[in-house]
Amino acid sequence: MNIQGQKKQRLSVFEHETLKVGEKGFTHTLLKVLQSFYGDKGTPYYSLIHNGVKFSDYVGVLQIRNVTIEVLPKIDKMDTDESKWQGVLISMLKQASILKVKSSSSTNLKLKSNSILELYFELFINECEYLLHRGLIKQYRKAEGNLHALKGSLIFSKHLVHNLAHQESFYTRHTTYDYLNTYNKILYKTLYILRSVNTSSSLQSRINRLILIFPELLPLEVNENTFQRLYYNRKTESYKSAIDIARLILLNYHPDIVRGQNHVLALMFSMNRLWEVWVLRILRRELHPKGFVVESQISEKFWDSKYHNSKYLKPDLIITGPKGERTIIDTKWKAPAYGQPSDNDLRQIFAYLIQFKSAQGILLYPGTEFYLIEGKYVTSEGTCNMLHVPVVKQDLLDYSSMVNCILKLNTN
């Protein structure tokens, strides 16, 4: 269903907040759609409460017809500046390479950040326009059908059925070279979905134009395996950014197969995971020139048994200094209650230090100001410090305090 012409609406909330019918334009109709989307299996994005929903630690957007529900991160409970936190989230997605902006896409961005969803849409449109300008790729594929010249191998049984009265044709199995490949089909399918869910009039004409220019392609059923089977080489590398956005849209689009009206597009990101990836990208970029190696999700076996599966330890980040010294970092998006680290977090860092032969562990939290709480394990030489770093400065995402403090801790 095309939703152009309907008045678009955007509701903004923060992570862990509740949204009830009657608040911010949230209606019974929207609640019923979210209840249906939740279903029997549930969703990690929110939980159902009486007459509303309670959002979790996932941020991003949920779109239902012409309504976009934007869920934003927040560090300071008192700071409810929605435009500020929308900008922080977009910056974090970009710097974590989850929102990949190439020069070919970003030079003509005209959208004024109406929503994260529309930003993704425009990036995808820009990528498609760029690919069409370059020329879509062709690939060889197996095909069969009637031809006016004998090409490939004749399928005699089908030739008799189809061409008994048409002796000028040949039914063959042959190889053809055309645009009917998975890469182009994925883009084509995504454009059709965008045409039905996009609420921006400034983007709609560009979407329609792309659909007209694209070669007509057969429908494609898409799942995770579709994208895993793709490979990129010199010829297809230019498609990667567009395919990455298409994957995000197609795998998170949930059509309403009953009424055909209340489709849900959910582009949601775990804030814990986003914080971890953002810290990793920033530290790698800033510390590598200084001789440090920053690694993520390094797994080592710590328990083995011939009767059960082996057990592994996998810290979030390991920083190895120029002299081989190691620091273990466990990223935490939300600060603990009353400023006290949990027993489980302390035990986990203690195990990491032993397994990875490190003397320093850090529990890393975002905050509104910098402060360091030092702590050590009484039975070993290991330390576990709680580090709170400000990540917003003058309403912009900032990483300088975090980098400087971690660098200082690693050079003491």
DSSP SS3 for 102: coil
Question: Which of 3-7, 73-77, 130-134 tops mean pLDDT?
Answer: 130-134
Note the pLDDT of residue 226.
Answer: 94
Is residue 112 within 8 Å of residue 158, measured between CB atoms? no
Given a cut of 90, is residue 293 above it in pLDDT?
Answer: yes
Domain covering 291-411 in this structure, CATH number: 3.40.1350
pLDDT higher than 50, residue 405: yes
Q: Where do the CATH 3.40.1350 domains begin and end in the chain?
A: 291-411
Q: What is the mean pLDDT of residues 310-334?
A: 95
Four-point Cα dihedral 110, 113, 119, 122, nearest 10:
-20
Q: In this structure, which amino acid lies at residue 255?
A: P
Q: Which of 26-30, 189-193, 262-266, 318-322 has the lowest mean pLDDT?
A: 262-266
Per DSSP bridges, beta strands 300-303 and 153-154 are unpaired
pLDDT at 256 over 70: no
Burial (CB count within 10 angstroms: exposed 0-12, middle 13-18, buried 19+), residue 132: middle
Mean pLDDT for the chain overall: 87
Query: What element of type H or E holds 225?
Result: helix 224-228
Interatomic CA distance for residues 189 and 209, integer angstroms: 14
- Mean pLDDT lowest among 132-141, 229-238, 327-336: 132-141
* pLDDT per residue as tens digits for the range 165-186: 666 677 776 567 778 899 999 9
SS3 (DSSP) at 6: coil
* pLDDT of amino acid 1: 45
Contact 248, 267 (CB under 8 A): yes
Q: Specify the pLDDT at position 150.
A: 67
Is a pLDDT exceeding 70 seen at residue 385? yes
- Provide the whole-model pTM: 0.85
Reference 39, options 30, 48, 26; nearest CA is: 48
Stated as kind and residue range, the H or E segment containing 388 is strand 383-390
Region for 65 from its dihedrals, namely left if φ exceeds 0, alpha if ψ lies in -120 to 50, beta otherwise:
left
**Distance between CA 136 and CA 185 in Å, rounded?**
11
Q: Note the Cα 6 to chain centre separation in Å.
A: 28
Q: Mean pLDDT throughout 328-355?
A: 93
Task: With cut-offs at 50, 70 and 90, classify the pLDDT of residue 11.
Answer: very high
Q: Which one of 200-204, 230-234, 256-260 scores highest in mean pLDDT?
A: 230-234
